[in-house]
Structure formats: structure tokens, C-alpha cells
Chains A and B, each alone.
Chain A
């Protein structure tokens, strides 16, 4: 046991470095993907086919294809079209796409949950369509969508482990690397699993608490 603990103590710094990269990728994917998801959510409801159909394609492919395929498409596929991305850039691009696709559905549900009277009131007050979205519909819809978006953020952190396959030195890659050097796969992978759990479990509990809190305010 003390042998395991001292092994963990020596490997922890490398794994924490990996974890920082995992968190960075998660943060970037969410920062880029969620605004795109909002745009996609509005675009798929557009009456214009020219806007609706491309948005639908982006969303359906992003949700339909495995994130692993999107990652490898960005990292191994795009170079054959002359676009060379670093592992970090490919990871952010692919996971932003996934985020955009999934969050657009979450946000769309949130926007639809806004009471119809709100929209009618905005129209009655003479708001332009843009102002109506900006000041009335989107702020309320996003509040409804918030718990589901936070839950998705936790899944996204887990999804960064897929970046192992494109040689991004995130948490799982670091653990695997140490495993191949020391041949103590079980011990290193267990520590990596604990680190993922150390973030995801408190985050899940927190999201559930936020959800209960927001529930209190809706009739």
C-alpha cells in the first residue's frame, strides 16, 4: 500500500500536467461550442431553408458521428485537404463541433420552454426580432438550459480522454505513457481514474444542487 502511494506521489505531477491540458481543451471547446450552439439553435428554427438546412447538417453530423471520428477527421483527415492542425487545435476544433451540436439541442429546448406570452409581449412593445431574442427570449431560455449545459460540460471533460488517440498529452495520454515506461498500468490508470472522478463527482453533485435550486423558481 505505501509502495502504491509513493508511486502515485512520484507520478502525480505528470498526471496533473495532463489534467491541466484536459481542462484547457474542455474550457476552449465549451467557450467556442456553446455560442455556436446558440447560433445553431436559432438557425435550425429559421424559416429560410438556406440557413436551416446547413445548420441541421452541422448539428446532425456532430451528434450522429462519434466524437472519436470527428477528432481523427480533424487531426488525420484535414491534412489531406491541406489543413494542418496541431493536436491541441484539432482537439479544440472537433470537440467544439460536438459541443455545438449537442448544446444546440439543449438550448433549443430551453428557448422553446420560454412562455409564448413573453414573445407576444415583446412584439406588443415593438421590439425588433433581434432585440426580442437578445433581451427577452435568450436570457430566459439560457436559464432553463443552464443545468443541462453544466451536465454536458462534465461529459465534455470525460470526452477529452479521447484525445489520447491524437497524441495530445492530456490526462489519459500521460497515464498511458507512464504505464508503458513503468509497466504499472493498473496503478497509473487507477490514479488517472481517481483524478477524473475527483472532478466529475463533485461537479455532478453541484449540478444536481443547482438544478434543484432553479426548479424552486419555476412555477
Chain B
């Protein structure tokens, strides 16, 4: 595999990162209301959240991607490939992040709610100053692990022509057929290399942040 070949596939890194980051930010944001609906006292909101989460998780990501890109995109409104990838993966991320948030909420000691109330804190302050900072700390390691999975899922964006790592590996392997083995091995290695710092971060965050949550 030539140096130019390596360089071409490596040019996919920014797009891989962009799709992963975009989808994660969208999902982390949408996950908050989804989680709120899930723990809501209203039966309708709770039911809706459960239905959304189940649907998002039990249909394969690539099917969501095609539904958005070919389904919505072919008749209802124009959807770009990158947008479709970010939104499809972002929606699935929202469902998973909602579950991660919910788990974190449950892990907060009930005494924290009682203490905030005993101090006479307004509801806003109770959430913003007491609960959310702790939820955030418990969430971080799971979120970092989830991002690694998302990074690998972002490879499906290659199927609709986003010029990320897998797409470029495919493109190059078609031109240099006799080197396709090394090309895909290199592409796979790139994903592993990108996920190494994320995995280290997850481990670090796990140890440090858990120590700062009231038990």
C-alpha cells in the first residue's frame, strides 16, 4: 500500500470524527427530554418515551439511515448524506443516552433529594446545583464507552457516500484491487487507534468521578 493510499484513507478521519461528534451531541441533547419523559409521572409521556426508545433500539442503525436518506429524502424533503448520518445516529444515540441518564439518576442517593429539600432549595437549584452535577459524573464513563461504539457505527455513513474512513477504504480498494486486504486492515486499525484515547479517558473518568459522588 503506497503512502498516497494511506494518506487518502486517513483523509476520512475528519469526517468520521464529525459524524460521530455530531451524532453524539445531538443524541446527548435529545436524550435529556427523552429521559425526563421516561421518568415523568404522566402515563402518556412515559409510554411515548418507552415506545420511542424501544423503536430506536430494535431497528438496525443502517435501516434508520436509509429511511431518512432514501425514504424521507426521496420525496418529502431534501436530506444531505452527512445530515442523514448525523440525524439517524443521533436519534439512536438519544435513546441510548436517555437510558444512561436514567441509570445515573437512579444511582443518585435519595438523601441528596431530601437534603436539597430540607435546605429549602428551589426546584431549579435542586436540579442544577445538586442532582445534575452528580448525574453528569456518573454518566461520563458510560458516555465515553458509548462514543467508542458510535465511532464504529459511524462507518455505516459510507453506504450513503459520506467520505469517511470506510468509504475511502472502499473507494481505494476498488482502484487497487490487489491491495484491498492491506487497505481494509489499515482502515480497521485507524478506528482502533482513534478509540484508544477514548477508552483511556473512560477508565480515568470512571475512577476519578465516581469518587466524587455521594454514596
Contacts and interface: CB of A to CB of B under 8 A. Distances in A.
The DSSP consensus for interface residues of chain B is: helix
B74 A183 contact: yes
B166 A72 contact: yes
A41 interface: no
B158 A68 contact: yes
A65 B179 CA distance: 19
B60 A189 contact: no
B210 interface: no
Interface stretch (B23-31, B133-141, B169-177): B169-177
A183 to B, nearest CB: 7
Given A72-B184, A73-B184, A80-B177, A200 B58 contact: yes
B58 A65 contact: no
Interface size class of B (residues with CB under 8 A): 35 or more
Contacts of A179: 70
Nearest to A161: B60
Contacts, number: 123
A176 B66 contact: yes
Nearest to A185: B70
A197 interface: yes
Contacts of B183: 77
A154 B58 CA distance: 8
B109 to A, nearest CB: 23
A65 B152 contact: yes
A165 B170 CA distance: 10
Contact of A73 (B67, B70, B72, B185): B185
A-B interface, 10 closest residue pairs, ranked by CB to CB distance from nearest: A65-B188, A200-B58, A186-B71, A64-B192, A66-B152, A158-B60, A66-B155, A185-B70, A73-B184, A161-B60
15 contacts: A61-B192, A64-B152, A65-B189, A66-B155, A68-B158, A69-B166, A72-B173, A77-B180, A77-B183, A78-B181, A162-B156, A164-B159, A185-B71, A193-B67, A196-B59
Interface of A: 60-61, 64-70, 72-73, 76-81, 154, 158-159, 161-162, 164-165, 172, 175-176, 179, 183, 185-186, 189-190, 192-193, 196-197, 200-201, 204
